[in-house]
Structure 1
Amino acid sequence: MKFLERERQTLQRYIPHLDKALAELPLHVLESQESPAIGLFRDSPGPGLLIPTEFGGSAANAVDAVRVQRAIGARSPSLAVATTMHHFSMASIVSLGEESTGFEWLLLEAVARDHRLVSSAFAEGRPGQPILSPGMRATPVQDGYLVSGRKKPCSLSRSMDLITAGIAIEGPDDTPVMAVALIPTESPGVHVKPFWNSWALAGAESEEVVIDEVFVHSDLVIETTVGFGHQLDKLTLYSFLWFELLITASYVGAVSALAERVFAHQRVPKAEQVRLLCEVEGAALQLEGMARAQEATEHDTEAFAHCLIGRFAIQDALARAASSCVELLGGVEFVSSPDVACLLASAHALALHPPNRTGTIDSFADYIKGDQINVT
């Protein structure tokens, strides 16, 4: 089977015609701030990728989902990163809905049926902040909360219909616990401000979202049992496992796009092509193994530790592969087209997504000694 053929067949099965539509557009257009890629995704069945079929979604399993994200990332890294945030939000709602009798199924149906896009305003992008630190301030009022805060960067900021935001509310024993607030973007007090000044991944619409005293009805707040400063519970771990899988797949796709350009050059020695193939496909196969493990094992801190180990190993492999691609393509290819520089810059951005490897050193050192990994 030809390089990336399996992934593109999987993408075609779940989101027909999207790959063809993306392939017909130049990379620099797809990666620009005016990119039509998110609009193409919205008009497809893509928003329902992880939503169960009973709510109108595609119910993709983890292996197929990472293949879809890799295929999208090979066409447009920006679109892959942006849609990862949507899928992460959907995985969170699905997992929370399994333990709730609330309105979550209505939201899932609306996303799948009406092609709604949902962004994530959790703690990503806030240096030094734990993953589960509340991203927004919530003040209890009659029938709900007044929510305020900022998220920068926030992918899908110009196309989102809903924002999922982490807030702190009072738990059963009067201690603060995390809740998920669902904020419609047409709500008074929601503003989008320019933030992303880099040309790399500019098509992800990662601007600043300002939420200023926005009223959120209590019906749009999903409570959890997670206390701040504690280990993640099973449901929240499930969501973050999805995030790590899909964001890693997005960057495997970006490096695959570079490798595909190398394989198209007949002048590249076969030995170098094979070495590059093993690096890139090895990373992809490791990721698929992680996806299978997610479906076959308990969603506990041990599973999350294994997922992070795999993610960091893949991150290193992708950095090596991207550098090799640039060297094998040569200087003429680099200076004659912006595509190589764009993909190279995008390929290294996996290191910017949480959790930061430097911040996990102490936790992993304890894990080596047999302690549970602390992912907060």
Structure 2
Amino acid sequence: MKFLERERQTLEQYIPHLDKALAEVPLHVLESKESPGIGLFRDSAGPGLLVPTEFGGSGANAVDAVRVQRALGARSPSLAVATTMHHFSMASIVSLGDDSTGFEWLLLEAVARDHRLVSSAFAEGKPGQPILSPGMQATPVEDGYLVSGRKKPCSLSRSMDLITAGIAVDGDDGKPVMAVAVIPTETPGVRIEPFWNSWALAGAESEEVVIEDAFVHRDLVIETSVGFGHQLDKLTLYSFLWFELLITASYVGAVSALAERVFEKGRAPKSDQVQLLCEVEGAALQLEGLAREHEAAEHDNEAFARLLIGRFAIQDALARAASSCIELLGGVAFVSSPDVALLLASSHALALHPPNRTGSIDSFTDYINGGRINVT
């Protein structure tokens, strides 16, 4: 089986014809602000990848979802990053199923049936706050809430149909609990402002979303019994594990695209090609192992710790592999096309996604000594 063939077969299985359509578009176009990638994804079965089959989705398991994201990342890192945010939103909605009020299932059906795109406006690790702390302020009013806040960057900002935002509402005991507000983008008070000025990953549509006193009806608010703190509960942990798996897979894909160019060129010494293969495939296999743990429903703090250790190890392996690819491809490949520079810049961006390794040092030290991982 050729390099990336398994991943592309999995992508074809779940999202027919998308890989072929993406392959026909030059990489520098897919990675630009005018990219057709998100539109191609919307017109496919992609939005329903993680939606359970009983609601019209594909119901992909974690291993297959990781393979799909790797294949997407190898065609367009921007598209893989952007769609990770959509899938993260879907995983968050699915994780609320045990406390279902019925609305979330209607939302999942709409995503799968009508190809709706959902962005994530969760806090995602602002300094000093839990990763999934409420990212927006919510003021109770008659029949709902007035929601305000900003999210930057917010991927899918120009193509999203709905925004999921974490808000705090009063629980039965009067203490604040997490709720998920689902905000249609046509809601008065929602606007998009320019934010992303880098040419790297420009196709992810990562602009600033501004929400000012947007009215959200109670029927569009999914309440939970989850409080707030630095320790993730099982519901938010489940969602965050999905995020880490899929965002890491996206960057494994980006580096795989560089490695594929090395293998296709075939001029590098065989020993260097084998070393590169082991580095990239080793990272992919490690990620699939973590996906299998996730699939086995090990959604506890220990699983979270192992996933973060694996993510940072993969991050380091990808950095080594990307640098090796540049050296093996040579200067002519770098200067004769924007593709190599685009992929190189994108491949290092995994370090920019939460959690921040430097900010996690104290927590990891506690873990080494038998404590729990706490993430801010």
Q: Do structure 1's residue 355 and structure 2's residue 352 form an aligned pair?
A: no
Aligned to 1:331: 331
Aligned to 1:4: 4
Aligned to 2:20: 20
For 2:171 and 2:149, locate their aligned partners in 1 and report how far apart those are by CA, in whole Å: 21
Q: Do structure 1's residue 307 and structure 2's residue 307 form an aligned pair?
A: yes
TM-score (norm 1): 0.98
For 1:36 and 1:268, locate their aligned partners in 2 and report how far apart those are by CA, in whole Å: 34
1:128 to partner: Cα distance = 4.7
The percent identity for this pair of structures is: 86
1:228 to partner: Cα distance = 2.1
Q: Give unpaired runs (5+ residues) of structure 1.
A: none
For 1:226 and 1:185, locate their aligned partners in 2 and report how far apart those are by CA, in whole Å: 26
For 2:238 and 2:268, locate their aligned partners in 1 and report how far apart those are by CA, in whole Å: 42
Aligned to 1:210: 210
For 1:309 and 1:226, locate their aligned partners in 2 and report how far apart those are by CA, in whole Å: 26
Indicate if the aligned counterparts of 1:125 and 1:153 stay in contact, CA closer than 8 A.
Answer: no
Offset from partner CA, 1:93-141 (integer Å, 9 cap, x none)? 0110232133111000000000000000011374454312221010000
Q: Do structure 1's residue 156 and structure 2's residue 150 form an aligned pair?
A: no
SS in 2 for 1:272: helix
For 2:8 and 2:199, locate their aligned partners in 1 and report how far apart those are by CA, in whole Å: 26
For 2:263 and 2:234, locate their aligned partners in 1 and report how far apart those are by CA, in whole Å: 42
Partner AA of 2:6 in structure 1: R
Aligned to 2:178: 178
For 1:228 and 1:52, locate their aligned partners in 2 and report how far apart those are by CA, in whole Å: 28
Q: Do structure 1's residue 167 and structure 2's residue 167 form an aligned pair?
A: yes
SS in 1 for 2:133: coil
Aligned to 2:99: 99
Aligned to 1:275: 275
Indicate if the aligned counterparts of 1:125 and 1:152 stay in contact, CA closer than 8 A.
Answer: no
Aligned to 1:290: 290
Aligned to 1:369: 369
4+ residue runs over 4 A deviation: none
Q: Give unpaired runs (5+ residues) of structure 2.
A: none
Offset from partner CA, 1:220-279 (integer Å, 9 cap, x none)? 111123322242211111100000000000000000000000001121110000000000
1:170 to partner: Cα distance = 1.2
Partner AA of 2:280 in structure 1: V
SS in 1 for 2:241: helix
Indicate if the aligned counterparts of 2:125 and 2:355 stay in contact, CA closer than 8 A.
Answer: no
Aligned to 1:80: 80
For 1:222 and 1:322, locate their aligned partners in 2 and report how far apart those are by CA, in whole Å: 42
TM-score (norm 2): 0.98
The total of aligned residue pairs comes to 376
Indicate if the aligned counterparts of 2:119 and 2:162 stay in contact, CA closer than 8 A.
Answer: yes
Indicate if the aligned counterparts of 1:150 and 1:208 stay in contact, CA closer than 8 A.
Answer: yes
Offset from partner CA, 1:336-360 (integer Å, 9 cap, x none)? 1111110000000000000111111
Q: Do structure 1's residue 32 and structure 2's residue 64 form an aligned pair?
A: no
Offset from partner CA, 1:207-227 (integer Å, 9 cap, x none)? 000001000011111112332
